[in-house]
């Protein structure tokens, strides 16, 4: 826990950006009847019936101090998909960075081995030289600021029926671009000292 919290307390360094990474499954749901339009004193009405169309996945990478986030929509969230996201961080989003420090949870796909499964050994090693993983403790994924950004995305974009991945991309891309344009940061206030005080029972030797 303190490893992640100390990382959050460091000053901004463009050469070694801190990027929080997480993902979220999205159920795809289509209307079976067209919604009825709005009218004077009458909101738009939807039929209670709907058609399930499987699921999609949203990857979220957010740089809290830089006020940037990158949203990717995929069909799955396999080891290969995760490796592709790490390649995008290194080569597309942060090509000038010496190292990208990534905060993520302990999902079994979030491992260096996933890059070796997706790429030839030399390419996997090249990427891992530019990546530094910092894991949140088990049952403490709330320490990952990407969860905050996913919550905002859900409330602003995913509070409606979305039938397919094309619609999902059309919803999330403008949201990403608008927040990046405005440079909205994530203001984290929970520090190492807070953890030692409020969560003292989690420390070994605490009586």
Q: Is residue 63 scored above 80 in pLDDT? A: yes
Q: Which residues of 150-160 are buried (b: 16+ CB within 10 A; e: fewer)?
A: bebbeeebbee
CA terminus-to-terminus distance, the chain: 20
Q: Which pLDDT belongs to residue 54?
A: 87
CA dihedral 53, 55, 56, 62 (to 10 degrees): 130
The pLDDT-based confidence of 30 (bands split at 50, 70, 90) is confident
Looking at CATH, the fold of the domain delimited by 2-28+50-188 is given as: Nucleotidyltransferase; domain 5 (3.30.420)
Whole-model pTM?
Answer: 0.85
Residue ranges per domain, the chain? 2-28+50-188
Cα-based distances in Å from 77 to 46, 60, 82, 93, 138: 31, 12, 7, 20, 20
């Amino acid at each position: 826990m303190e490893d992640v919290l100390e990382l959050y307390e460091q000053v901004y360094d463009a050469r070694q950006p801190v990027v929080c990474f997480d993902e979220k499954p999205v159920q795809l749901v289509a209307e079976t009847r067209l919604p009825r339009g709005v009218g004077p004193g009458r909101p738009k009405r939807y039929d209670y019936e709907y058609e399930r169309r499987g699921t999609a996945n949203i990857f979220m990478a957010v740089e809290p101090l830089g006020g940037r986030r990158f949203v990717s929509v995929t069909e799955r969230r396999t080891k290969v998909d995760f490796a592709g996201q790490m390649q995008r961080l290194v080569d597309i989003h942060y090509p000038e960075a010496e190292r990208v420090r990534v905060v993520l949870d302990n999902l079994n796909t979030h491992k260096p081995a996933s890059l070796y499964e997706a790429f030839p050994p030399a390419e996997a090693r090249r990427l891992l030289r530019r990546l530094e993983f910092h894991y949140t403790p088990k049952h403490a994924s709330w320490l990952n600021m990407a969860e905050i950004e996913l919550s905002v995305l859900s409330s602003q974009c995913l509070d409606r029926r979305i039938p397919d991945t094309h619609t999902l991309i059309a919803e999330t891309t403008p949201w990403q671009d608008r927040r990046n344009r405005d440079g909205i940061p994530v203001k984290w206030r929970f520090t190492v000292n807070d953890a030692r005080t409020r969560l003292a029972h989690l420390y070994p030797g605490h009586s």
